[in-house]
Amino acid sequence: MASSFENLPILDNFYQTSSFFPMPIVLVGTLDETGQTNLGPYSLCFPYYIAGKKRYTMVLMCRNNSNTAKNILRSKKCSLNFIPHDNKFLKNTVMLGFPGDTTAEKMEKSIFSLTEGLMQSENSAELYPQIVEESFQVFECTWDASLDGAENDTVQEEYLPPFHNFNGITSPMGAHFILSIDKILMKPKYRKAIIDGVQTKYFPNIPVDYGYRDNTNFWLAKFKKPYAEKIPKGKGISLDTITYAADRTDSDVKFTDDACATLIKVPRIFLKKILQDCVVWAKNRDITLINEEHMQQIRDKRSANK
């Protein structure tokens, strides 16, 4: 069968010029030279380290001569503010993204309310960017300049090679920042939903940047309530498979069959990591045989950490 697709040239900013690519809308809060919080809207902001590291991170991509990039290079601190879908918010967000304005000029036009974040309240001796009160969630972050040898990157009028590969100044016009997540702040309604189990009615009203833009417009998608699609039956792991893996996880810590049965619905790809985490939990408590009650305690601990 002949393909119905046609080739499209790949241009600079391909996610906007040569494709339709749904992305988040985030107001990045940074500190200017005077200590004033600057808000800049970004969509190229995605999870980076999600597991298996000692920290969790995001990656932010931006122009290296933007207020945001300069401020991160100076202070290494920022906040990622996720705002709800509201026409007046998004109209103001587009305005905040216009290049060339100073922080004072830009923030004079902002309709968003700024408030102190948790990092500021816990570290009064340092100055942190304020966060957007209207957000449904906020990530307070610190730039990890140690990655890719970016420790010595500073604000310059012009950036010359050599450039970094993935962190700091990465091209004559571009910058990538690997941001360690210090705090995740969330409004009570949505925090409770994640802890207790999310239902459709508790999803936040999240706007989406549609990716493609032309010379005159940004294109944004309205929020629509998500629907749930059940995981197919029979896709879980058999008890024999779990007990086999559990017996080989550690020579000193073992699992009862009842404990293994609590993991039947766990996707196979996550089983090894979960078993290892359970072993660490047990060794910290001098437990050599993990039973069903212990598994419940581990689940409760994970929920509490969330």
pLDDT 10s digits, 135-151: 999 999 999 999 999 99
Structure tokens at 121: 């309240």
Average pLDDT over residues 283-291: 95
For residues 237-264, give the mean pLDDT: 89
**What percent of the chain is predicted at pLDDT more than 90?**
67
Rounded mean pLDDT of the chain? Answer: 91
Express each pLDDT in 195-204 by its tens digit.
Answer: 777 777 788 9
Which two three-digit tokens encode residue 194? 């994640």
Residues 6+ apart with CB under 8 A from 21: 15, 210, 211, 212
**Cα–Cα dist 96/103, whole Å:** 10
Interval 10-31 mean pLDDT: 91
* pLDDT tens, residue by residue, 112-126: 999 999 999 999 999
Average pLDDT over residues 156-177: 97
Tell me how far apart the alpha carbons of residues 17 and 19 are, in angstroms, rounded to a whole number.
6
Give the pLDDT of residue 78. Answer: 98
Q: Which of 46-60, 230-244, 282-296 has the lowest mean pLDDT?
A: 230-244
Q: How many Å is the Cα radius of gyration of the chain?
A: 23
Note the pLDDT of residue 80.
Answer: 98
Full-prediction pTM beyond 0.85?
no
